[in-house]
Amino acid sequence: MNWRLLITEPCDGATNMAIDETLWRGRHAGTSPPTVRFFAWDPPTVSIGYGQPLDRHVDVDACRRFGVGLVRRPTGGSAIYHDGPERELTYCVTATADDLGVGADLLETYRWIARALVRGINALGANAEMVPTGRGLGPDPAFCFARTGAFEIEVGGRKLVGSAQRRLGTSFLQHGAVLLGADAARLRALFPTTRDPLATLTTLEAALGSRPTFDAVADALARAFEDEHGLTLEPGGLTADESARVETLVAERYGRETFLAAPAHP
């Protein structure tokens, strides 16, 4: 089966997360093809993990002051600040273990995706590597880039890509942030309890000496998924049924303050 390549226009956090969940549940039901999606955020948004409390570790007042959105992800992990397309590309993979030709183990799917991400990032000229085992600062940091999980991606010992996954049977949703650049002052304001949010992260701008464009990174990653795994990515959009499901999820889940405060079981 050919895979779909979906590159969407920047949109708000609720819509982005509703699209990701729609693609995942559609793949689980067999109504959507395996999909690689690249997207950005408008306005910039802090996403928090599915089970993460919205507490003092994310400064909600600073979010309002900067015009930064807040959304709860369908995946776990810690908070991420998603800047606009000038500073971040977010990827999403929705598939089944059979689509990948690997076992159902979570780490096997992480590794499969990381191989393509590393290949694409290094095609841009970075010297990225896949980290086989995780290491963190403290047991559960509130800021995603303060720790490294298994098969995540670093340059020079600093984290470049922050990823999270959620599974339903053998189907999964994995998405993550590829940092093109960073707004240091804003990161410090949004995550006031993280001693130095920039201490453990890096960006493609730092790795390459200049900041690549969103489109250049998307092109490199798409080619890498094809070359690394022998895929054919066919550009496409959401179907009418998928678009309707996105609207429902925004209205009933991701756009609701009650879901942001404490998630209901989907």
Structure tokens at 93: 């993979």
Task: Classify residue 265: in a domain, yes or no.
Answer: no
Q: Determine the average pLDDT of the residues in 84-96.
A: 97
Structure tokens at 244: 């309707």
User: Residue 196's domain spans which residues?
Assistant: 3-254
SS3 label, residue 93:
strand
3-state secondary structure string, 17-47? HHHHHHHHHHHHHCCCCCEEEEECECCCEEE
Q: Which amino acid is at 205?
A: E
| Burial per residue of 118-154, b for 16 or more beta-carbon CB atoms within 10 angstroms, e otherwise | bbbbbebebebbbbeeeeeeeeebbbbbbbbbebbbb
CATH number at residue 245: 3.30.930.10
**For residues 165 and 96, is the Cβ–Cβ distance under 8 A?**
no
Element (H, E) at 203: none
Q: What percent of the chain has pLDDT over 90?
A: 76
pTM: 0.93
Task: Classify residue 158: in a domain, yes or no.
Answer: yes
Task: Classify residue 44: in a domain, yes or no.
Answer: yes
Number of domains in the chain: 1
- For residue range 157-214, list pLDDT tens digits in order: 899 998 999 999 989 999 999 999 999 999 999 999 888 888 889 999 999 999 999 9
Task: Classify residue 54: in a domain, yes or no.
Answer: yes
Task: Classify residue 259: in a domain, yes or no.
Answer: no
> Is-catalytic flag, 144?
yes
Reading across the β-sheet that carries 3-7, which strands appear in turn? 128-131, 152-155, 158-168, 171-179, 88-96, 35-39, 3-7, 233-235
CA distance linking residue 85 with residue 81, whole number of Å: 12
Task: Classify residue 157: in a domain, yes or no.
Answer: yes
| Burial per residue of 219-253, b for 16 or more beta-carbon CB atoms within 10 angstroms, e otherwise | bbbbebbbebbebebeeeebeeebeebbeebbeeb
Count other Cβ atoms within 10 Å, centred on residue 98. 12
**For residues 265 and 252, is the Cβ–Cβ distance under 8 A?**
no
* Annotated catalytic residue within 11, 63, 92, 144: 144
- For residue range 236-260, list pLDDT tens digits in order: 999 999 999 999 999 999 999 999 9
* pLDDT given for residue 138 in this prediction: 47
Report CA-CA distances (Å) from 96 to 2, 16, 22, 174: 13, 21, 14, 11
Task: Classify residue 83: in a domain, yes or no.
Answer: yes
Task: Classify residue 266: in a domain, yes or no.
Answer: no
Q: Determine the average pLDDT of the residues in 30-48.
A: 97
